[in-house]
Structures are given as structure tokens and as C-alpha cells.
Amino acid sequence: MDMKHSPTRRTLLKWGVGTTGVAVAGAFLPNFGISAALGADLGSGDIGVLNYAYALEQLEAAFYTQVVANPFSDMRPNDMTILTQLRDHEVAHREFLRDALGNRRIPDLEVDFGGINFRSRRSVLNTARTFEDLGVSAYNGAGQLLKNVDYLAAAGSIVSVEARHASAIRDLIRPLSASAVGQGVVSNGLDPALLPSSVLKQAGPFIKTEVSAQALP
């Protein structure tokens, strides 16, 4: 896989909750002639892992794009600023993986956000916390499956941003509380690590497209 023209690890390391100016694309990518109804086979090896991450980033990017486009009624100071930054980061993650995968990427996923009340601050932020925690666990669990050290380095750069997102969302839910740091961290001071089968099961209710990950654990 040629990554010479993809965003570099140094670029990824510059992304953080306070970063602005990341180019924003639409919520959905062109289908390239492939119908989402046909499903998405992630594949195997490093390509399968990258497609797995790409699927999750599509989900998060679509979620935050809808959040920003439909502000909830009880918006508080800094809510829109933070949520817009998170949208920009997730779109950038999605586009980075899209470019890295090239023609080996899965098609666009059709999402299902019917269970989310986008007019409710509580519903939106609780869903955001779920997605960010799941994203951190997903990258932590997928790292061991990658063989290419460049992909591993890129994944490490992305997961650090996802962890910042999780903390930022917790601070919006309960400003200046200990929950911004402590929740979700196990007793030995480490974040959980989940394998693709577990993560996809939890993300499944939000994805209409059938995702096949038979070649991944």
C-alpha cells in the first residue's frame, strides 16, 4: 500500500481537541459504483484492520456531522465549538484511512441513528461518549493485529486523539469532574482493548450495512 501521498504521522500527531482548520468533507463518500446493500467485507490482514478502522471512522464522522448540522435545543457555551472540532477530526481520520486504503477500501456504510434524539443534549453527548470509548477500545485491540509498523504508528496517533475526544465529551457532560479522566480506565491504569468482533457487535445497531469481519478475530 502506497502511503506517500497520505497524511503523515506528524500531521496526525498535530490533531487535538483544540486544533482547528482540518478540511471537512461531506458526511458520506461516493459509492464508487458499489451498493451499500451488498454489504462490506473488511478483508484480512492489515487491509482488514484498516477497513475495520475505516468503518468506525465513517460511523463517527456521520454522527458528528449530523450533530453539528442539527444543533440540540439546550446548547450550552462551548458545546458547538467542541462538537465541531470533533467532527473535523473524525472526518479527517476517515479521509486518511480512505486514502491509505485506496481501491481496497470498503464501500460507504449506511448508518442508522434512529435511536438517537438529536434534539436532546443528553442523548447526543451520551452517544458521543459511547462512540469515543468504543473507538479507543477498538484501536487498542486492533493494534496487536497490525504487521506494518507504519500503520501501527498511524493507529497510535489516531487513538490518542480519540482518547482526547472521550475526555472532552465527559467534561461537557460534567464540567471539571473527575469523570473526565477516570471513567473507563481499568484498575491497572490502562484503557480496555476490544477485538473487532466485540466492537462490531456494539456498533452494529448504528450500522445498516451488513459488515463481514470473518477474517478478523
**Inter-residue contact 166 to 129 (CB < 8 Å):** yes
Q: Which residue has the cell 482548520?
A: 21
**Inter-residue contact 212 to 41 (CB < 8 Å):** yes
Q: Mind listing the pLDDT tens digit for each residue in 29-77?
A: 333 333 344 578 999 999 999 999 999 999 999 999 999 999 998 999 8
Helix (H, G, I), strand (E, B), or coil: what is residue 56? helix
Helix (H, G, I), strand (E, B), or coil: what is residue 156? helix
Give pTM, 2 decimals: 0.79
In the chain, where are the structural domains located? 40-212
Domain 40-212 falls in which CATH fold? Ferritin (1.20.1260)
pLDDT along the chain (217 residues), means of 10: 44 37 34 47 94 97 97 92 97 95 94 96 96 95 93 92 93 76 56 91 94 89
Res 19: pLDDT:
36
Nearest to 86 by CA among 153, 170, 7, 2: 170
Helices 121-142 and 79-101 cross at an angle (nearest 10°) of: 30
